[in-house]
Chains A and B, each alone.
Chain A
Amino acid sequence: MTRWAMVADLRRCVGCQTCTASCKQANATPPEVQWRRVLDMEVGEYPAVKRVFVPVGCMHCDEPPCMHVCPSTATKKRPDGIVTIDYELCIGCSYCAIACPYQARYKTDRASFAYGKATVQETQAFNPKRLAVATKCTFCVDRIDAGLAKGLTPGIDPEATPACVNSCISQTLSFGDLEDPHSNVSQLLAENQTFRMHEELGTGPGFYYIWDKKQGDASA
């Protein structure tokens, strides 16, 4: 079996928002919709102040609350762990958006464009099916499926890898198969200390945050 997951190394992220821009370009999301965004946090008090940049989005949970509450079965989880939305089934009730503890879902009632009038790219990428329904990060599922069909490896081959991961300038984001012990993400999880967002809720996010090396490796 395969379990696609994403890992963000918080020590590396510089908050450049390239992943956000890349996602917007790849998925043609309208203004104010960011399937991949980066939180810019300032913690501590002067002079001991730190800035932390945290990429967030759909966590593609093992037990997605959005899927359980969805009355129309528009939200589904694939066997490989990717949580999808069927835009043809969704009624736009936003119950999933309320149920998501990660504020990963959006609903846009009307078409809107960055500069008022649609640009060429926005015109080409505009999808009316996405209006007035729930939308969110798909882990670029189309790229993954198309890449797999060509025999490529998601997370390794850029053509089969989510756009945000491809664009990351600091190699903060990694993508791969958790079930494969030799995959890049499995290696990262084995070597580092990680946490998942709001783990106490039991949603089982498929998005891990690295914050330090494992204790035994600290001096390495």
Chain B
Amino acid sequence: MNDNFGPKPWHQTNWDFRAAFNFMFGSAGAGLLVAVAISGAAGNALRAEMLLGMALIGAGLLSVWFEIGRPLRAMNVGFNPFTSWMTRESFAAGLVFALGLAAVWFASLHLAQAAALAALVFAYCQGRILQAAKGIPAWRVPALIWLVFTTALAEGAGLFVALAVLADTPARGALGYFSLALIARVLAWSIYRGGVAKAAVRPALAALDRAGKMLVQLGTVAPLALLLVGWFVPEVARVLMPLAGVAALATGWQFKFVLITRAAYNQGFALPHLPVRGTR
């Protein structure tokens, strides 16, 4: 990383799989709410997908709740909206649940769209939470914000497409949105990879590269190919499209799991100068 003197970086031990689950489930849930709002779903389909999206966000937050040291003080998380993205994430989550539950109650697409806006803010906050962690070089790269954000969109769209096939063949608009989200995610990965190369240590880069390879090959190229085949051969579309959706979702999840639990090396300590002892 540099020519300074000091002990080698080591992996952080404060956040484990429980924190990773928040970023995995939370972003997929937020992305699903966005996909539902864009699709124009109505009635029970809208209700079911909205509930699933909120359940995923809730599962992520519940997972973090199991990790914090003082769970009975969890409400204190809302005390610092001025500078803490974790507080802002909790506010966004509250808004998602309020608007989302109202949308489910009234089966209202407009309320679902408002909930989707809050979900976008929630996904953005998740990116900012990681980027604000100055102690982890692989996270503090600004491009990570957009990678986390686009990953949420791609995962949610993938989940939406996979679920939509259960009822009917997804609309072309939904498939188009899914494809765009996949392309945005892979572009964000490419930009992030360029930035993180200068910041992160070798073991972190190795972990990220393995996860990134999956993201590109299984999470982008394969789903796009499956969608293309499904487009031209409608008979197999009902089999291929859920596969494409699940691939996008699973690779996004594995990437974030790796990001939190495998690539989160600190930068150790570094001395730009050694002490000059004795006479000269």
Chain A positions within 8 Å of B, measured between CB atoms, are: 9-11, 39, 41, 43, 50, 52, 54, 56, 65, 67-74, 89-95, 97-103, 107, 109, 131-133, 193, 195, 197-198, 201, 203, 209-213, 218-219
Contacts and interface: CB of A to CB of B under 8 A. Distances in A.
26 contacts: A65-B132, A69-B86, A70-B84, A71-B87, A71-B90, A73-B80, A74-B76, A89-B79, A90-B70, A90-B73, A90-B76, A93-B69, A94-B14, A94-B69, A97-B14, A98-B133, A99-B134, A100-B134, A103-B266, A107-B14, A107-B69, A131-B69, A132-B70, A195-B272, A211-B273, A212-B273
B85 interface: yes
A218 B129 CA distance: 46
Nearest to A90: B70
B106 interface: no
A72 B73 contact: yes
Contacts of A195: 271-273
Interface in B63-121: 64, 67-71, 73-74, 76-80, 83-87, 90
For the complex, would chain B's binding face be called helix, strand, loop or mixed by DSSP majority?
loop
B76 A71 contact: yes
A44 B55 CA distance: 55
B12 to A, nearest CB: 6
Contact of B77 (A11, A71, A102, A212): A71
Interface of B: 5-7, 12, 14-15, 64, 67-71, 73-74, 76-80, 83-87, 90, 129, 132-136, 264, 266-267, 269-277, 280
Contacts of A212: 273, 275-276
B136 A43 contact: no
B274 A69 contact: no
B62 to A, nearest CB: 14
B76 A91 contact: yes
Contacts, number: 148
B73, B76, B129, B275 interface centre (most CB from chain A within 10 Å): B275
A89 B76 contact: yes
A98 B269 contact: no
Given A71-B79, A101-B266, A92 B14 contact: no
A98 B7 contact: no
Nearest to A68: B83
Nearest to B139: A98
Contacts of A54: 6, 269, 271
Contacts of A67: 83
A201 B140 CA distance: 10
Given A72-B73, A91-B74, A94-B15, A203 B86 contact: no
A198 B79 CA distance: 29
A10 B275 CA distance: 6
Given A91-B68, A92-B69, A212-B273, A72 B134 contact: no
Task: Pick the 8 closest A-B CB pairs, nearest first.
Answer: A92-B69, A132-B69, A10-B275, A94-B14, A72-B76, A71-B86, A212-B276, A65-B134
Given A107-B69, A132-B70, A71 B78 contact: yes
A71 B61 CA distance: 14
A69 B264 CA distance: 17
Contacts of A201: 134
Contacts of A10: 271, 274-275
Contacts of B129: 69, 95
A50 B83 CA distance: 43
Contact of B276 (A71, A109, A131, A211): A211
Contact of B274 (A50, A97, A132): A50
Contacts of A133: 69-70
